Amino acid sequence: MPHERMFNIDIHQIVSALSVSILPLLFGIICHEVAHGYMASRFGDHTARMLGRLTLNPAAHLDAMGVLFFLLTALVGPFTIGWAKPIPVNPRYFKKPVRDMALVALAGPVVNMILGFLFAFAFFAFLIIAKQTLSEPGPVFGFWTRTLQYGVYINFTLAWFNIMPIPPLDGSKILMALLPTNLAWKYASLQRYGMLFMILFVVLGLFRMIIGPLAYFSSGIAFGLAGSLFSLF
């Protein structure tokens, strides 16, 4: 029965996924938010800087609903995802509010994609260092290889997830910049249903069907590029 499969939870698999995903996910979502704040600051809005949000300190960014969503996605599929408290942005300080807001929104996913490639390079660098220093692989080696691998997947997952045009995700702000003003305002009004949209997105399997293939494809490119480079050593 479908409902029986839904509650057939593999606790060992969940704990394993959480153990290797928590560090790269935390790093990825914090860098994502800091990128928004930094870009906003470049355009004249220093709100995030004044509130102490341009920091990698997790205490300044953790969000209860983001943590809950992280646990929910760990229960229903192979991917885990969450978010931090949104960086406050005041477009009144921008010279070109529509364009600048879109670029601020785009900064987060772009940073996650960059991190995805960096984690792939770190993965192969770690393999080379481990090969030269370890006599045989152990649990610590296994933990860090899986964590670095997951760092690639999770950052591309964060990038593609956030770029989806679902309010209040970054993709919705980018799309609003491209829509006529009247349509943009109507579209922005959907933000009040944002949490419902995201829960349905995961529960209905759309997260796995749409974001999963995109994340795997991007990760394959990152691993392929990093592997080609390190094969020269």
Q: Are the C-beta atoms of residues 69 and 58 closer than 8 Å to each other?
A: no
Task: Give the type of residue at 123.
Answer: F
Query: Active-site residues: which are they?
Result: 33
* CA 196/CA 76 separation, integer angstroms: 16
SS3 labels along 171-198: HHHHHHHHCCHHHHHHHHHHHHHHHHHH
DSSP codes joined into one string, 53-89:
-SS--GGGTB-HHHHHHHHHHHHHSS-----BPPPP-
HSE at residue 150, side-chain half, CA atoms within 13 A, is 22
Which residues 6+ apart lie within 8 Å of 46 measured at CB?
40, 93
